[in-house]
Amino acid sequence: MKRKSPLKAYSWEFMLVGLLVVLWIIFEIKDSSRGRDVFNFARMMSGMSVYMLYSFMALGMALILGMGDIDISVGASATLSAAVMGVLYRSMTSGGMANGPAFAIAILACLATGCLCGFLNGFLITRFRELFPMIVTLGTMLFFRGFCYLFLGGETLKFENDATWALLKKLYNGSIEIGSVSFPTIILWFLGFAAVFYIFLHKMSGGRKLFAIGENRISSRCSGVNVDRFELLMFVVCGFMAAVSALFYIGCASATVRADAMQGYEMYAIAVAVLGGFSTSGGKGNIIGVVLSVLIFGVMKKGLGTLFGFSDSTVNLAVGIVLILASLLPNIVQYISHKKQLKKQQTDIQAFPSGKP
């Protein structure tokens, strides 16, 4: 098998780096023209926390897209995981259990709920192949969100004076000083998870299985891969990452739990993964692209909102345009390459009409 050259293999990631550099230059010029210093590396890093909340979901989504599937229920899965954590913690502490053990059990319950949601998605998709993954996860999204409203009884759980629960706020708001730059700990958590996913996808046999399933399920099955079991496991991992997002979101939301939390986060997770090089066609993608995509989204939202004063809806419009162009670019390049190849073949035929050189 002929190996791809490094330049060709990472050309998409190089394009993302170029896009990031262009955006940064544009925002720096705008910042300098106004005589301000609000857009610099230190300020950008310190304000990235809010843009990282869906980054963990994006890592899980990358696995699903790499197999040629999709999961639009991750936002609802995360909300249900947070609701289970909040209700269980309040129940245990009001029943006399110490805050520390109750908090640890509640966190485990949150992660387990995310895994269970992912398991349900994977089970339905692998057992009922005639149903499209988007339809299945649309149904589970509505189910998880509706169950969350019933579970919370329409109320918002608040833990304002609970020092133990406030640890989630510290998890989200924490930072590490490196030189003169303050790096939010959520970025370091994300990079740690991204490193694990990179090793799995690009350095281990599991990644080869995942991309092989995305390219051709039948061939993978004939090669001895237990496609259903592997696919089910990847959905469980995706649900787990949604629960991880829930932990950070609770810290961001002033330690409150609501049934309408994280609405639309699944769209951001999909957008980040797609811009990073993954797609529903499956069989391709790179975790490095997902990391770059998270940075691009953060820089765009920070720059357009802070420097240009655009509203959130306008910023989302700009992000959507970039995503559409990024999705179309590979197809446009492939189309141009195909046209050139056909033109070359026609030229060769005209040069040797008899078929002999």
Q: Measuring CA to CA, how many Å separate 318 from each of 13, 33, 55, 134, 321?
A: 20, 22, 19, 25, 5
CA atoms of 242 and 251, how far apart (whole Å): 15
Confidence of residue 9 (pLDDT cuts 50, 70, 90): very low
Confidence of residue 6 (pLDDT cuts 50, 70, 90): very low
pLDDT digits (tens, 9 = 90+) for 119-147: 999 999 999 988 899 999 999 999 999 99
Q: What is the mean pLDDT of residues 69-77?
A: 94
Of 248, 246, 297, the closest CA to residue 276 belongs to 297
Q: What is the mean pLDDT of residues 239-256?
A: 90
Q: Please tell us whether the domain made up of 44-327 is placed in CATH 1.10.3470.
A: yes
pTM of the model: 0.87
Largest CA distance in the chain: 92
pLDDT digits (tens, 9 = 90+) for 169-210: 888 888 888 777 788 899 999 999 999 999 999 999 999 999
143 burial (CB, 10 Å; 0-12 / 13-18 / 19+) is: middle
pLDDT value, residue 320: 79
Q: Which residue has the tokens 């033109």?
A: 343
Residue 17 tokens read as 């780096």
